[in-house]
Amino acid sequence: MKNIVLIFICSRIDRNDYYIKNSLGIKNIAEAHQSQFWDFTNDYVFTKNPEYFEDITHLNDTGANIFS
């Protein structure tokens, strides 16, 4: 066994049903495999700063650098 740790990360997303469903699906997969799930969907840094986004689902360079 390689002892590889999987971490599922969900960045800030638009709060619509499609993305919420996908986020919950990822969370369920992580739990099923006893992996970590880091949920940034409501992270204050991003929810209060729309200038960090290129469009509704993608961070721009500034936002990506902050998120990384």
Encode pLDDT of 6-57 as tens digits.
899 887 765 666 666 777 888 899 999 899 999 888 788 988 898 998 987 7
- Please, which pLDDT band fits residue 5 given cuts at 50, 70 and 90? confident
pLDDT value at residue 26: 87
- Does position 65 have pLDDT exceeding 90, yes or no? yes
d(CA 49, CA 1): 43
What is the mean predicted confidence (pLDDT) over 52-64? 88
| Domain-wise residue ranges, the chain | 7-67
Q: What angle do CA 47, 43, 9 make, to 5 degrees?
A: 125
Alpha-carbon distances of 27 from 10, 32, 36, rounded to whole Å: 9, 9, 9
d(CA 46, CA 17): 19
